[in-house]
Amino acid sequence: MSQSSASADIGAVDYSVKIPNNVGLVNDARVLKALEQWHPGYIDWWNTMGPEGFQTSDVYLRTAVSIDPKGWAQFGFVKMPEYRWGILLAPQDQSRKVHFGASQGEAAWQDVPGEHRASLRRLIVIQGDTEPASVEQQRHLGKTAPSLYDMRNLFQVNVEEGRHLWAMVYLLQKYFGRDGREEAEGLLERRSGDKDKPRMLGAFNEATPDWLSFFMFTFFTDRDGKMQLESLAQSGFDPLSRTCRFMLTEEAHHMFVGETGVGRVIERTCEAMKAAGIEDPTDVAKVRALGVIDLPTIQKKMNMHFPLTLDLFGSEISTNAANFYNAGLKGRFMETKIDDDHRLTSATYPVLKLVDGQIRMVEEPALTALNMRLRDDYVKDCQGGVNRWNKIIEKLGIKFQLKLPSVAFNRHIGEFRDVNASPDAKLLSDTEWIKMKDQWLPSKDDGDFIDSLMQPCWGLGRYAGWIAAPKIGIDSKSGDFEYVKIHAA
């Protein structure tokens, strides 16, 4: 990659300074200094909490060299601790307005409005906290990678989550003074799953024990990332909007990794079943004897990751969400494309609630139902991916359909957190739940079986027996390309 000084191209990234950026850091001594002071702590965090065992390997990674949608990625071998993490914002639109809430129609804010400072800081810190958390959750996975291709994708996702942390830290350092600097330190201090200093949101303290979990996580949880970033990209606070818009271009690859990852596991299972003449997908023992993951277990993994991610949307009815919207800080998915008043003072929205012990749809004020609305948009987006997985199963002639469980199933936040519900939304007693739980969620046996398959497979062009090869390589590389030179030290 060319590391020359800032080019005159619009959107070009300045690699001449320690912290690559397209925000003119070279002329912003205060923020540059703050970021340079934060940098060693970040590298220390990366070296201790980033991918375990591969810090000296050469990895075929893409790095953003411009924010131009067509030309921003450049591929090359990089040792991860030397990755050029930087500050990249989508271009500023001078005519951009606040699109929603009480300040609708005002020019978008280039600085933080005093009255919204605490809320904005909180949103940015929560977003920032998820990024290093996911790297921590995935740090041990390299060791059991089912191919060099998958290993490289894992590391690409990890370095980009690292960059997303930088993105939020830039906003904190630039716009929030001393408390921003303290929050930036806090982001390096919390740890996923730590009893005393956990990450802020539930799903980011769960383990990612195996590669199927990783693919489910990048399908389901990174998709929450997409929905939340889309909502924050609508923000009246323009630097947050511009940051999130660029982050979204990177997020797309993470969901690709998830969707195609699970798709390739499904494909391999169905092919192995066909080759062995097994027609009954629920004959778990026979399917497992082929060394592939049976479809009911894939369904159980979905049943686990989907509700964990639904919890990330907060409560269905939320005054926080209403306040964020009213203040012009966090909009709806595709806010500018929605045809209404963008104030929501009298509109209603249907919300699934628990009423007199039954799950019912109830009309609620649209303003307080914004988390529910975003979650509905998310569920639709997930359903599209599940439909594509089901097409793979159908095409290979196996009679089985994967299904998203009900939004009431296995919840820990919101309306359904205190009830037991089956995947098809029947309410259950504690005794019934305990009896049935292992049929719906991965049991210890399921975990042990998947674990037994997690053996490294790092030969050139080789793939573990439980996952199909991808249709096409990264950056159009050939099937036997050495995406990670493991012993490069």
Q: Which two tokens stand for residue 137?
A: 């959750």
Q: How many residues bind ligand BYC (CB under 6 A)?
A: 25
- Interatomic CA distance for residues 330 and 319, integer angstroms: 13
- Interatomic CA distance for residues 120 and 275, integer angstroms: 55
Among 150, 161, 250, 415, binds ligand BYC (CB under 6 A): 161
Among 120, 265, 312, 367, binds ligand BYC (CB under 6 A): 312
DSSP state of 75: E
Query: What binding mask, one character per residue, do residues 365-394 give for ligand BYC by CB under 6 A, x or -?
Result: ------x-----------------------
Closest separation in Å from C-beta 134 to ligand BYC: 4
Q: Which stretch binds ligand BYC (CB under 6 A): 43-51, 175-183, 274-282, 314-322?
A: 314-322
Among 22, 57, 63, 127, binds ligand BYC (CB under 6 A): 127
| Position 427 contacts ligand BYC (CB under 6 A) | no
Among 119, 315, 390, 401, binds ligand BYC (CB under 6 A): 315
Q: What is the CA radius of gyration of the chain?
A: 23
- Interatomic CA distance for residues 260 and 248, integer angstroms: 18
Tell which residue, 369, 373, 304, 309, has the closest CA to residue 335: 373
CA 142, 230, 133, 439 torsion: positive or negative?
A: negative
CA 168, 173, 174, 178 torsion: positive or negative?
A: positive
Among 12, 43, 126, 427, binds ligand BYC (CB under 6 A): 126
CA 324, 330, 332, 333 torsion: positive or negative?
A: negative
- Interatomic CA distance for residues 38 and 45, integer angstroms: 11
Nearer to ligand BYC by C-beta: 162 or 281?
Answer: 162
- Which residue(s) pair with 420 in the sheet? 428
Residue count (the chain)? 489
Chain residues 326-345 in contact with ligand BYC, contact rule CB under 6 A: 330
Closest separation in Å from C-beta 228 to ligand BYC: 4
| Position 101 contacts ligand BYC (CB under 6 A) | no
Do the beta carbons of residue 98 and residue 109 sit within 8 Å?
Answer: yes
| Position 291 contacts ligand BYC (CB under 6 A) | no
Do the beta carbons of residue 219 and residue 259 sit within 8 Å?
Answer: yes
Neighbours of 374 (CB within 10 A): 22
Closest separation in Å from C-beta 142 to ligand BYC: 17
Chain position carrying tokens 């809320």: 119
| Position 168 contacts ligand BYC (CB under 6 A) | no
Among 21, 66, 134, 192, binds ligand BYC (CB under 6 A): 134
- Distance separating the N- and C-terminal Cα atoms of the chain: 21
Closest separation in Å from C-beta 149 to ligand BYC: 20
| Position 313 contacts ligand BYC (CB under 6 A) | yes
Closest separation in Å from C-beta 480 to ligand BYC: 30
Q: Which stretches of the chain bind ligand BYC, using CB under 6 A?
A: 123, 126-127, 130-131, 134, 161, 201-202, 221-222, 224-225, 228, 311-315, 318, 320-321, 330, 371, 413
